[in-house]
Amino acid sequence: MVLITPFFTIIGSFNGLVCLNEYTPSSTRDVLYLWNPSIGKFIVLPEPRITYCDRALGFGFNSTTNDYQVVRIAYVSSGLEVDMYSLKEGCWTRISVCGTIPCIRFDSSHTSLNGTLHWISEPGHRFPFIVFFNLGS
């Protein structure tokens, strides 16, 4: 019997709130947490309705709506799906995608600046570039 244990990765943090991903290598689903270590409380985010082949995760703060948000860009069999979780609303929303979004490295971390999440493009592209997602629009 092989025991596969999950491990945690930090997706991001903002204003002391930490977004964690509990990942099991054999699974195509994530368990995401928002954790406030200063008060020792956390919530488990509801699971999005899709399974994925690969995905990129991001966490940031939308100052326009005063809301913490988690973004998941998932590469699924039918193409690309983008979901955003709003802590204020307590649910995931599907974001329509116009055009194409290049592959983002699976293991790529992101950075958040002024309400916009940024990732580096897949190394297979001729010239690397930055993919960004504005939490406010």
> Between β-strands 67-76 and 116-120, what pairing exists: parallel, antiparallel or unpaired?
unpaired
80 occurs within a structural domain: yes
What b-and-e string marks burial along 102-112, b requiring 16 or more CB atoms within 10 Å of the CB? ebbbeebebeb
82 occurs within a structural domain: yes
2 occurs within a structural domain: no
Q: Where residue 43 sits, what CATH number does that domain have?
A: 2.120.10.80
31 occurs within a structural domain: yes
- Measured CA to CA, the distance from residue 90 to residue 93 in angstroms comes to 10
Q: Decide: 59 and 19 in contact? Cβ < 8 Å.
A: yes
The range of the structural domain enclosing residue 11 comes to 7-134
Of 85 and 112, the structure prediction assigns the larger pLDDT to 85
pTM above 0.85?
no
1 occurs within a structural domain: no
pLDDT tens digit string along 98-129?
Answer: 666 666 665 567 788 888 888 776 666 566 77
- Measured CA to CA, the distance from residue 86 to residue 71 in angstroms comes to 9
> Could you give the number of structural domains in the chain?
1
